[in-house]
Structure 1
Amino acid sequence: MDSTLKGTLHRRGLRMTPQRQLVLDAVRELGHATPEQVCSRVQATAPAVNITTVYRTLDLLEELGVVRHAHLGHGAPTYSEHQHRHVHLVCHHCGRVDEAPTELLSDVASRTLADLGFHLDATHVALSGTCVDCAHDDEDSADGAPEQDDTAPQEGAEGDR
């Protein structure tokens, strides 16, 4: 069992249960996981653990600073260990999720602090956009599109007057 977590729970008058350990182990094993994915992993070992227990445990573990969550899109949040720090790059087109170092947002963090007095936590952020493959596909489809004939008179052009 995780002795640090056990000690933190004990100090708060809580105990380390097998279910809590299984949820934490599942998050660690999966890297990034929705509550449903965590539940499936836990139920492989302990079928009696339900989704409500998983959600409550994830909330508690986040409150204790052991896990954190990020919203990578419109679905359920994904959870990872608190030390797992990076920026997520989420593609609008294909749903691909890449990871980038948090240093990518260093300039933004400096500006928000200097300009707004706001301390940015860029340790587990999701940025939306278009991945390199989808951007390349868009360029390819634009290259294959029929070209406009620039010599044909345009409606409202000066020659129509």
Structure 2
Amino acid sequence: MSESSLAELLRSRGLRLTAQRQLVLRAVLELGHATPEQVHTAVREVAAGVNITTIYRTLELLERLGLVTHTHLSHGSPTYHAAGEHQHVHLVCRECGAIDEISPEMLRPLADQLAAQRGFQVDIGHVALFGVCGRCAQNGEPT
């Protein structure tokens, strides 16, 4: 999203475009998948005075605006990524922490079965599968 379209979206909601909002959105877009702490580290490289509370508030605002979304990829902080991206399932390596993505169509048969048998609608954008990535498996990392 360009800065002018971000400014337009914020103005349409009665909000101002601030440097912090620009920096937080840019950090999420550049990092791909990032916790608030990782966004904070990236933003502080450019603007040392931005505190973690501002990061959390800005991420919440950007999510309400539909620009970012989050998922929980561990027991810690949520992980944010651009909402405009295609919906995807996260693959999280328990050994090295790498995050990969797969098409939600790989889970579609399971989602359809859950809907038919239990009436349960899977929110695929929040699905994370944990395991060991190929690189760690080849290196003989213990599971």
What's the TM-score, normalizing by structure 1?
A: 0.74
* Structure 1 unaligned residues grouped into runs of 5+: 142-161
| Residues 129-150 of structure 1, C-alpha deviations (whole Å, 9 max, x = no match) | 3334555637xx8xxxxxxxxx
Counterparts of 1:46 and 1:86, CA distance in 2: 32
Partner of 2:66: 65
| Residues 30-89 of structure 1, C-alpha deviations (whole Å, 9 max, x = no match) | 111111111111111111111110110001111111101111112221111002332111
Counterparts of 1:88 and 1:56, CA distance in 2: 24
What's the TM-score, normalizing by structure 2?
A: 0.82
CA gap 1:30/1:95 in 2 versus in 1, 3 angstroms: closer
Counterparts of 1:46 and 1:76, CA distance in 2: 22
1:97 to 96, 99, 112: 99
- Residue identity over aligned pairs, in percent, reads 55
Partner of 1:7: 8
Alignment of 1:1-161 (within 5 A): 1-84=2-85, 85-133=87-135, 137=140
Moved more, 17-26 or 114-123: 114-123
User: 1 or 2 for the larger relative contact order (CA 8 Å, sep ≥6)?
Assistant: 2
| Residues 10-46 of structure 1, C-alpha deviations (whole Å, 9 max, x = no match) | 2222111111011000111111111111111111111
* Structure 2 unaligned residues grouped into runs of 5+: none
Q: Deviation at 1:100? A: 1.4
Specify the structure having the higher radius of gyration (Cα). 1
Indicate if the aligned counterparts of 2:95 and 2:136 stay in contact, CA closer than 8 A.
Answer: yes
Indicate if the aligned counterparts of 2:72 and 2:126 stay in contact, CA closer than 8 A.
Answer: no
Q: For residue 15 of structure 2, what is the amino acid of its counterpart?
A: L
Residue correspondences, number: 139
Counterparts of 1:32 and 1:62, CA distance in 2: 14
| Residues 101-155 of structure 1, C-alpha deviations (whole Å, 9 max, x = no match) | 12111112222332333332213421123334555637xx8xxxxxxxxxxxxxx
Q: What is the RMSD computed on CA atoms of the aligned residues?
A: 2.2
Counterparts of 2:7 and 2:118, CA distance in 1: 39
Where 2:124 maps in the other structure, the secondary structure is coil
